[in-house]
């Protein structure tokens, strides 16, 4: 038993609102800066280390507006200090070009940013993407690369081998169910990704639909990390609608604890991905 290495800390990320949902979907969906700050505090108490942040315009539509981001980040920091890593999304939602996505990140300079290979590095735009990634690295902005399919993962590895992506310790997020019927995921959707995954990669899962918790639990058992929240699913493992995002974080914390994985803090996350 003394030769068995300890299990790595599990990074729990909350995605509290996403780009499209409104309070018609759930009355506790956080949208305003103060609501996002309250949810961040509740999720921190349940074990979250990072918040995946979307902000909205004055009509509650998706925006990458830097001022809106700064308002939300300030509210969260005033509430919980550095208790969570704040990750800004670059999601286009059919509105923003790759250049606009990149410009937002470089102007905002967030703790972290989620980056979809499919959106940011279309074929023929590798040199522009390389310059952007180099600037991110110089600014010490923590990247998380969004991969929607095993083909995205293979392209990620190709871009890394070619030097377009310069990060030596990448954090990947594998999205399950985004393009399946009715956006319904299943834990076995993880298997094709892991077939191509290099053993040294750090990866997390986010899963659409009511099997979010089952997929997250499978990822935790395999040494991965997880992102849960109303962006992808609003239901507990029992089928009952969650009261708030923190309830979903609590579920995955309990799953991690049940298999003996410690829970990572924001400082753990920063140390794991510092270069």
Q: Does domain 12-272 have CATH number 3.60.21.10?
A: no
For the cut 60, the answer to whether the pLDDT of residue 219 exceeds it is yes
The band of 185, judged by pLDDT with boundaries at 50, 70 and 90, is confident
- Whether the pLDDT of residue 197 is over 90: the answer is no
Using left for φ > 0, alpha for ψ between -120 and 50, and beta otherwise, residue 26 falls in beta
Question: pLDDT category, 92, cuts 50, 70, 90?
Answer: very high
2, pLDDT greater than 60: no
How many residues in total does the chain contain? 275
| pLDDT at residue 1 tops 70 | no
Q: Average pLDDT for residues 1-21, to the nearest whole number?
A: 84
Asked if residue 237 has pLDDT above 70, the reply is yes
Asked if pLDDT for residue 275 goes beyond 90, the answer is no
Q: What whole-number distance in Å separates Cα of residue 87 and Cα of residue 136?
A: 13
- In the predicted structure, residue 262 carries a pLDDT above the cut 90: yes
Give the DSSP letter string of the chain. Answer: -TTSPPPPPBPEEE--STTT--TTT-TT---SHHHHHHHHHHHHHHT--EEEE-EE-TTS-EE--HHHHHHHHHHHHHHHTTSSEEEEE---TTT--HHHHHHHHHHH--SEEEEEHHHH--TT-HHHHHHHHHHHHHHTPEEEEEE-SHHHHHHHHHHHHTTSS--SS-EEEEEESTTSGGG---GGGHHHHHHH--TT-EEEEEE-STTHHHHHHHHHHTT-EEEESTTT--B-TTSPBPSSHHHHHHHHHHHHHHTTPPBPPHHHHHHHT--
Label residue 7 by pLDDT band (50, 70, 90): confident
Q: What is the mean pLDDT of residues 96-107?
A: 97
**pLDDT confidence of residue 142:** 97
Instruction: Tell me the pLDDT band of 3, cut-offs 50, 70 and 90.
Output: low
- Tens of pLDDT, residue by residue over 168-184, are 898 999 999 766 566 78
Task: Supply the pTM of this predicted model.
Answer: 0.95
Percent of the chain residues past pLDDT 90, beyond the cut? 85
Residue 273 pLDDT > 80: yes
pLDDT digits (tens, 9 = 90+) for 45-76: 999 999 999 999 999 999 999 999 999 999 99
Average pLDDT (81-96) is 96
- Domain spans in the chain, listed from the N-terminal domain onward: 12-272
């Amino acid at each position: 038993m003394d030769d068995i290495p300890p299990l790595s800390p599990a990074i729990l990320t909350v995605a509290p609102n996403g780009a499209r949902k409104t309070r018609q979907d759930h009355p506790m969906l956080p949208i305003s800066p103060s609501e996002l700050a309250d949810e961040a505090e509740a999720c921190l108490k349940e074990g979250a280390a990072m918040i995946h942040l979307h902000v909205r315009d004055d009509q509650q539509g998706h925006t990458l507006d830097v001022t809106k981001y700064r308002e939300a980040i300030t509210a969260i920091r005033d509430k919980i200090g550095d208790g969570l890593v704040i990750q800004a999304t670059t999601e286009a939602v059919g509105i923003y070009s790759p250049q606009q996505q990149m410009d937002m990140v470089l102007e905002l300079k967030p703790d972290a940013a989620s980056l979809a290979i499919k959106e940011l590095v279309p074929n023929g735009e590798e040199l522009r993407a390389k310059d952007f990634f180099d600037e991110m690295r110089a600014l010490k902005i923590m990247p998380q690369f969004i991969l929607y399919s095993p083909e995205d993962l293979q392209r990620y590895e190709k871009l890394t081998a070619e030097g377009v992506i310069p990060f030596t310790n990448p954090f990947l997020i594998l999205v399950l169910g985004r393009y399946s019927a009715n956006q319904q995921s299943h834990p076995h959707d993880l298997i094709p990704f892991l077939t191509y995954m290099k053993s040294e990669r750090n990866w997390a899962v986010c899963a659409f639909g009511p099997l979010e918790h089952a997929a997250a639990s499978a990822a935790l058992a395999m040494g991965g990390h997880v992102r849960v929240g109303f962006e992808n699913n609003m239901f507990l493992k029992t089928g009952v609608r969650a009261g708030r995002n923190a309830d979903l974080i609590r579920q995955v914390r309990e799953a991690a604890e049940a298999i003996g994985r410690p829970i990572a803090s924001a400082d753990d996350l920063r140390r794991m991905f510092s270069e």
